[in-house]
Chain A
């Protein structure tokens, strides 16, 4: 039996091996991705992002338990932690918080290192998600690296994005900055048993009250993709107002309410056509980056090493600019 068939039959070793192939972008990995693609597109991808130490992993643990307990869904967890910029090594510690999930054959946790990517995910995260999707997982929880302000790649991948905050991390100026807070479908204030939770909630809700439907403009490989704002008169149906939920992930407080808020978001996505729009954003993003990488690799293959070095040395001597060099090579 080949790898794809074993994977579709939910063989756990085949799943694990496939994830490695895909993570390493091996030839076998690309072959399997093509074979399983018709079986993908069913899972609900939930992204969990937020600053380091806000409790993302503990929250993922609780959400996975919720989907097992309440829905009997099969749950996959893909947890990304940073690679060292110097050695390429990494310590992936998200499993430490997920020990409650151990022993359940319908839960599969995979840790991955960011391997140099900067947007909060690794290069191959979206392809790894496809593998889980084909293997029949209903829910895929993707936990990003501890994110600062601009690691927003998860919003292009996930159908529902949770941004996790904790009391005491910033004032109302932080709340109106562009970036990570804007991508939240649901804002989770975790560690809500800590002092200062009212202030945090007030600052975040204050920020959200200012929100109104605007065209969504994505910078996508240097091109702008615009998703139009909903019409004014059907604003209520076609606009999702970000919800704010309090949780204490350590003991499970607020998890059922958070789960219900996620289900409400899924209903919204399905009833408006936002689900399909998001699918398009995902697949287009995958297609575009593959196209770009492949064209670049093919071009370098055709260009001889000497020609490349020659033009590079001209650039170094400042005889030609990098922009001029590209014109010359492609013009």
Chain B
């Protein structure tokens, strides 16, 4: 599948307007040679799944600081599955309590990164997961 560059959708669902983290990650992935499609703030799960479909990305990275992750993430995963993109990896960044992390990983989230995460780790994990997918 992955013959060209790794393509990543970086999206910011929900109502909080803090996109610094998403932009830092977008820039780091760019510098790692990936093509990052940046969608901007206040995306609904429907908008994110639609963009992931149209852009045929390998990875979707979302950033949630509002605490709404247990509502938003399952919905995004479900829509991506409906679209036939169950093999696309979902990465999550933001403020995620430890007890939720276990559940989110069970749902199928590939990686979860909180404050202080290194962008190098994110890049390495994405490369590994995309390689596995192919």
Most B Cβ at <10 Å: residue of A19, A96, A113: A113
Whether B33 contacts A89 by the Cβ 8 Å rule is yes
In the complex the two chains form, is B27's CB within 8 Å of A91's CB?
A: yes
Given contacts A13-B85, A19-B56, A103-B46, contact A88 B37 (CB under 8 A): no
Inter-chain contact A102/B50, CB cutoff 8 Å: yes
Q: Does A133 contact B (CB under 8 A)?
A: no
- Are B35 and A113 in touch, CB under 8 angstroms? yes
Q: Is the CB of B36 within 8 A of A90?
A: yes
* Range for the number of chain B residues in contact with chain A: 20 to 34
Is B32 a contact partner of A89 (Cβ separation < 8 A)? yes
Q: Does B104 make an interface contact (CB < 8 A)?
A: no
Pairwise interchain contact B34-A89, C-beta atoms closer than 8 A: yes
With A12-B54, A16-B53, A103-B47 as given contacts, are A88 and B5 in contact (CB-CB < 8 Å)?
A: yes
Contact with B along A59-91 (1 / 0, CB 8 A): 000000000000000000000000110011111
- Which chain B residues in 54-108 approach chain A with CB under 8 Å? 54-56, 83-85
A221 to B12, CA, bound (A): 44
Among B7, B38, B54, the residue within 8 A (CB) of A96 is B38
Contact of A89 with B46 at beta-carbon distance under 8 Å, contacts A16-B55, A96-B39, A109-B54 already known: no
CA distance A105 to B39 in the complex (A): 18
Are A103 and B50 in touch, CB under 8 angstroms? yes
Q: Is the interface of A mostly helix, strand, loop or mixed?
A: mixed
Contacting chain B: which of A20-28, A230-238, A241-249, A306-314?
A: A20-28
B45 shortest CB reach to chain A, Å: 11
With an 8 Å Cβ cutoff, the count of chain A residues facing the other chain is: 29
Tell me if A93 is interfacial: C-beta within 8 Å of chain B.
yes
Q: Of all chain B residues, which has the CB nearest A112?
A: B35
Which of A91, A102, A110 sits near B36, CB closer than 8 Å? A91
* In the assembled complex, B121 has its CB within 8 A of some CB on chain A: no
Question: Given A13-B83, A23-B4, A24-B3, are A87 and B30 neighbors across the interface (CB < 8 Å)?
Answer: yes
Considering the complex, give the chain A residue whose CB is closest to the CB of B29. Answer: A89
Q: Which residues of B contact A84 (CB under 8 A)?
A: 30-31, 33
Q: Does B37 lie within 8 Å of A20, measured CB to CB?
A: no
Interface check B40, CB cutoff 8 A? yes
Check A90 against B54 for contact (C-beta < 8 Å): no
- Quick one: given A24-B3, A95-B40, are A89 and B30 in contact (CB under 8 Å)? yes
Q: How far is the CB of A198 from chain B (nearest CB, A)?
A: 33
What is the minimal beta-carbon distance from A33 to any residue of chain B, in angstroms? Answer: 16
For chain A, residues 144 to 195, give those with C-beta under 8 angstroms from any C-beta of chain B.
none
In contact, B46 and A102 (Cβ under 8 angstroms) = yes
Query: Is B51 in contact with chain A by the CB < 8 A criterion?
Result: yes
Contacts known (A13-B85, A103-B47, A111-B55); A95 close to B30, Cβ less than 8 A: no
Write the nearest CB–CB distance from A208 to chain B, whole angstroms.
36
Q: Are A91 and B26 in contact (CB under 8 A)?
A: yes
A95 close to B29 (CB less than 8 A): no
Query: A89, B31: Cβ atoms under 8 Å?
Result: yes
**Pair B32/A92 contact, Cβ less than 8 Å:** no
The 6 closest A-B pairs by CB, nearest first: A96-B40, A89-B30, A24-B4, A16-B56, A24-B3, A87-B33
What are 21 A-B pairs with beta-carbon distances under 8 A?
A: A13-B53, A16-B54, A20-B7, A20-B56, A23-B4, A26-B3, A87-B31, A87-B33, A88-B5, A89-B34, A90-B5, A91-B38, A92-B37, A93-B40, A95-B40, A99-B40, A103-B46, A103-B47, A109-B54, A111-B37, A115-B5
Additional 14 contacts, C-beta under 8 A, given A16-B55, A92-B36, A108-B54: A83-B35, A87-B31, A88-B5, A89-B5, A89-B36, A90-B5, A91-B30, A92-B35, A95-B39, A99-B40, A99-B47, A103-B47, A109-B51, A110-B54
